[in-house]
């Protein structure tokens, strides 16, 4: 795995985890009863982004280490995911 591939993998994992964590424990302005003028009732009262960013970074780092370890070790390869047999036989130069 190249450095660029690792960075892209980490960024994808980080943003996926972010979008999962963002709505957790979210209180809207409509639920709290204090709607700021010019904002919708569904706007968050206190998004607490700093705490959520720390959680996302911690979870993403753990997931990245696991996924990168699987990719680097070769336990699961691209050919293992070829369920329909579209890749063809492996070339001899890669097997040597």
Average pLDDT over residues 31-49: 89
Angle, CA of 85, 89 and 93, to the nearest 5°: 145
**Beta bridge partners of residue 44, listed in sequence order:** 28
Instruction: Report how far residue 11's alpha carbon sits from residue 59's, in angstroms, rounded to the nearest whole number.
Output: 12
Give the count of alpha carbons within 13 A of 64, CB side only: 20
Structure tokens at 56: 């996302």
pLDDT band for position 92 (cuts 50, 70, 90): low
Please name the residue that has the structure tokens 């010019």: 38
Report the percentage of the chain scoring pLDDT > 70.
Answer: 95
């Amino acid at each position: 795995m190249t450095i660029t591939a690792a960075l892209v993998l980490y960024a994808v994992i980080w943003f996926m985890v972010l979008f999962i964590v963002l709505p957790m424990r979210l209180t809207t302005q409509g639920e709290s009863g204090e709607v700021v003028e010019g904002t919708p009732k569904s706007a968050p009262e206190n998004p607490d982004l700093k705490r959520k960013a720390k959680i996302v970074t911690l979870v993403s780092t753990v997931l990245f280490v696991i996924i990168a370890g699987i990719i680097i070790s070769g336990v699961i390869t691209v050919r293992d995911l070829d369920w329909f047999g579209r890749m063809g036989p492996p070339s001899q130069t890669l097997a040597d």
